Amino acid sequence: MVDSGRADPRGSSTGPPPNVRHVIAIGGGRGGVGKSVLATNLAVYLAQLGRAVVLVDSDPAGAELHTLLGVEAPGRRPSADDDEPDDLESVPTPIPGLSLLPQLYATGSTAPLRPGRRMRWARGLRQLNADYVLLDLGAGTAPASLDLFLSADLGVCVTTPEPPSVEATYRFVRALFQRRLRGTLVKDRFRMRLVERALGELPPLPSPLEFIRCLARYDGKLAALAADELAQLRPRLVVNGVRLRGDTELGGAMHDMADRYLGLDIEHVGHVEQDDAVWLSVIRRRPLLIDSPASKSARNLERIARRILALVSSREQVRAPRRVPIVPAEPTHYERLWTHRGATDEEVRRAYKRQREVYQSGGLALTSLLTEEQLRAEQACIEEAYDTLLDPVRRRAYDLSAFPETDEDQPARDVRVDAALAAERAMLQQELAREINSETEFTGALLAKVREAQGIEIDDIARHTKIAAAHLRAIEAEDYRQLPALVYTRGFVQQVARFLQLDPSHVSRTYLRRMRLWRAATGEPTS
């Protein structure tokens, strides 16, 4: 391990180079989704924390990181035909602690590295003298991109709220599973032939669950091995270019759908709102976190960066993987609605409303997963589950029949906090301890940060204070047009401050000052 305070991101060292602490890969199934912007700003965020960071441009068809960082275009890199591996010499950037390793290919080349050279190059990344190495991968399912993604300590898939992008993301994670399994069986020719035989019976890039169940017909132990490999595959997901409120829920919906129909645990780590500030930062050749650090998209990226940093720095990565069932099991009514046995009627209604939106015809999160016939069958099951759980008599009878050996009065909700989430909250609390003092001006973004650091949801505040959730969201977004008169807004802000254990008078005074300035500038009534 290197000392982050003395680390040289360019890898020059007089002694043997230490191992890189963490390798993070940013990939996806489709180009133009914002992978490079995410990778660049994540690298900037880590460098601003005092870490030694190397940003690697590993996209042969779209090497553009030097432009986003405002550095000169690199010279020729070794091509796929060169005999010697790259020396992994990075170039400095204007951001202290951050260096850039240019693309791995000759200019204009899209040919992947030869397998042997690719592996030597990947091992070389681990020898860089840096705290973090970030890989900006090429789009699609090329073997080089898949291998680099799988070799990383943490891999992040980027998508946009559009059907082609969602479909490409599902295709990408399916390819990841097959690539991982092939790598495990590379020296087992007999089992590899069984894999090829099973794949020949299925459509291209089938659902991992379908594939595993097909394997079970030939070799039960091989199917169990494939299920174990699937359980250990945990890509993360970022949704970029969010425009509508419904788009913010796409990541969570894709997590649920991938779990149910692919058997994959795709954790949603955040979204980035559509913002002209991103476009302007690209035009100015400056990373967004430096060019417009107060923009809403920059705040989104910082939240994602904190989550990723918490994941790679916690023991969440090494937790025991969940079991993937080889034999399909019929979901319970609670699983149909993605709720728990202790759910109240109101929680059941909210869960039903969400599932109606997810399973509507043309639902974005279901792209390429279900046929129209399968979708109609799922919709009927959701309606049955809702009708049953909302009827006390039918619900009790169902619980007794579905869970005969358990106490139906005990909620099955898991309220544990994972290590990564705890680490993320700890980082937020440390930042807030430095930011909040007697002179602090409370903005909507700062109130949201305090809430997230305490693990509180907007709905929790709404239930406790009886303030409409729409007003609470408007306060955090500083959407003053959606807020009532100042006298009422003052009361709302003070109640929120008390709930968050802040000074109500200080919070309301500084927040309303910003509101008055906005109303004066726009000609709105200031009283």
Q: What digits encode the pLDDT tens for the residues 282-319?
A: 999 999 999 999 899 999 999 999 999 888 877 544 45
> Is 357 inside any structural domain?
yes
Confidence at residue 337, expressed as pLDDT on a 0 to 100 scale:
93
pLDDT class of 352 with cuts at 50, 70, 90: very high
CATH number at residue 129: 3.40.50.300
With a CB cutoff of 8 Å and minimum separation 6, the contacts of 6 are none
Q: Euclidean distance between the first and final Cα of the chain, in Å?
A: 59
| Strands of 220-330, DSSP E | 236-242, 267-273
β-bridge mates for residue 56, sequence order: 101, 135
- Report the Cα 347 to chain-centroid distance in Å: 25
For the segment 44-69, what is each residue's pLDDT rounded down to a tens digit?
Answer: 999 999 999 999 988 766 678 888 88
Scanning the structure block, which residue is given the tokens 């270019």? 241
pLDDT class of 354 with cuts at 50, 70, 90: very high
In terms of domains, do 342 and 477 share one?
no
For the segment 86-124, what is each residue's pLDDT rounded down to a tens digit?
Answer: 456 778 899 999 999 887 544 444 444 555 556 667 777
In terms of domains, do 394 and 464 share one?
no
In terms of domains, do 350 and 304 share one?
no
How are beta strands 91-92 and 98-101 bridged, if at all?
Answer: antiparallel
> Is 363 inside any structural domain?
yes
Q: How many CA atoms lie within 13 A of 77 on its CB side?
A: 28
In terms of domains, do 114 and 159 share one?
yes
506-526: b (≥16 Cβ within 10 Å) or e? bbbebbbeebeeebeeeeeee
| Strands of 75-124, DSSP E | 91-92, 98-101
The least confident of 120-129, 188-197, 337-346, 497-506 is: 120-129
Last residue of a domain, one of 266, 285, 314: 314
In terms of domains, do 365 and 508 share one?
no
Q: Is 309 helix (H, G, I), strand (E, B) or coil?
A: helix
> Is 409 inside any structural domain?
no
In terms of domains, do 112 and 245 share one?
yes
Longest dimension (CA), the chain: 79
Domain range for 79: 22-314
Last residue of a domain, one of 402, 420, 448: 402
Q: What is the DSSP string of 273-303?
A: E--HHHHHHHHHTS-HHHH-TTSHHHHHHHH
In terms of domains, do 99 and 170 share one?
yes
> Is 153 inside any structural domain?
yes
> Is 423 inside any structural domain?
no
- Report the Cα 140 to chain-centroid distance in Å: 18
Q: Is 89 helix (H, G, I), strand (E, B) or coil?
A: coil
In terms of domains, do 308 and 358 share one?
no
For the segment 21-40, what is each residue's pLDDT rounded down to a tens digit?
Answer: 789 999 999 988 999 999 99
What is the distance between the alpha carbons of residues 52 and 286, in angstroms, rounded to a whole number?
Answer: 19
pLDDT class of 415 with cuts at 50, 70, 90: very low
CATH number at residue 368: 1.10.287.110
Residue, of 83 and 356, whose pLDDT is higher: 356
Averaged pLDDT of the chain? 83
Radius of gyration of the chain from its Cα atoms, rounded to whole angstroms: 25
Confidence at residue 328, expressed as pLDDT on a 0 to 100 scale:
66
For the segment 204-261, what is each residue's pLDDT rounded down to a tens digit?
Answer: 889 999 999 999 888 888 988 999 999 899 999 999 999 988 899 999 999 999 999 9
In terms of domains, do 352 and 459 share one?
no
Token pair recorded at residue 219 = 């070799």
In terms of domains, do 128 and 160 share one?
yes
Confidence at residue 107, expressed as pLDDT on a 0 to 100 scale:
45
Residue 121 contacts residue 76 (beta carbons within 8 Å): no
Amino acid found at 291: D
For the segment 165-185, what is each residue's pLDDT rounded down to a tens digit?
Answer: 999 999 999 999 999 999 999
Last residue of a domain, one of 285, 314, 343: 314
Token pair recorded at residue 337 = 């609605």
> Is 462 inside any structural domain?
yes
Of the chain, the percentage scoring pLDDT greater than 70 comes to 83
pLDDT at 5 over 60: no
For the segment 462-499, what is each residue's pLDDT rounded down to a tens digit?
Answer: 888 889 888 999 999 888 888 888 888 989 999 999 99
Angle at 338 between CA 336 and CA 343, to 5 degrees: 110
pLDDT class of 406 with cuts at 50, 70, 90: low
Q: What is the DSSP string of 488-523?
A: HHHHHHHHHHHHTTS-HHHHHHHHHHHHHHHHHHHT
Number of folded domains that form the chain: 3
In terms of domains, do 289 and 339 share one?
no
pLDDT at 416 over 90: no
pLDDT class of 85 with cuts at 50, 70, 90: very low
Residue, of 107 and 266, whose pLDDT is higher: 266
For the segment 378-388, what is each residue's pLDDT rounded down to a tens digit?
Answer: 999 999 999 99
CATH number at residue 515: 1.10.260.40
> Is 325 inside any structural domain?
no
Of the chain, the percentage scoring pLDDT greater than 90 comes to 43
> Is 321 inside any structural domain?
no
In terms of domains, do 223 and 154 share one?
yes
Q: Is 402 helix (H, G, I), strand (E, B) or coil?
A: helix
